[in-house]
Amino acid sequence: MQVTINGKDEKLFGNPPEVGEQLPKFKLEDADGSKVKTADIVGHITLISTVPDIDTPVCSVETRKFNQQADKYPDANFLTISNNTLEQQKDWCAAQGVSNLKLLSDESLSFGYAMKLYMPNFGALARTIFIVDATGKIVYRQIVPEITDEPDYADALAALEKLAKRVDD
């Protein structure tokens, strides 16, 4: 599969999983350095957002927007995954006041290779959104064609609302 970065073609490691497929096995790290595996995600409705680099403007905006939405969906987990180091992610969360979603590190690229979202020539994950149901089945997939563009938030949240109840403040 291919996406673009500033209009330049960039290949992904393979073809990302489709709607209807199960999440593959992978390992990530949370802010405490604890391992987060696929099995830790299964059992919960989860919105997974992947970003190339948390310290860039579009990735920062995207993660903040999902952080603002997270508390409106108490039945759902919100995860943002990048291959930034844990230290970079902690610093970003502290600077941005992000606390409603979990930022997970794929510095080992386990997730990127398992989900086929790693861009080997660019050295980062593609910008995507996946929603998985409590059984670990992918029910929504958005692969942003141009990495420098923001995702379609409304489309992703509409898909999430089919699974998780929204509460308005």
Q: What amino acid positions are annotated as catalytic residues?
A: 59
Which of these CATH numbers, 3.40.30.10, 3.90.550.10, 3.20.20.140, 3.40.190.10, describes 2-162?
A: 3.40.30.10
Q: What is the pLDDT along the chain (169 residues), one digit of tens a residue?
A: 899 999 999 999 999 999 999 999 999 999 999 999 999 999 999 999 999 999 999 999 999 999 999 989 999 999 999 999 999 999 998 898 888 889 999 999 999 999 999 999 999 999 999 999 999 999 999 999 999 999 999 999 999 999 998 887 5
Domain ranges of the chain: 2-162
The answer to whether 7 touches 124, Cβ cutoff 8 Å, is: no
Q: How far apart are CA 17 and CA 21, in angstroms?
A: 6
50-69 b/e with 16+ CB inside 10 Å = b?
A: bbbbbeeebbbebbbebbeb
* Length, in residues, of the chain: 169
Model confidence pTM above 0.85: yes
Report the distance separating Cα 160 and Cα 46, nearest Å. 9
Element (H or E) spanning 16, and its range? none
Q: How far is CA 81 from CA 8, 13, 76, 107, 165, in A?
A: 23, 17, 16, 10, 24
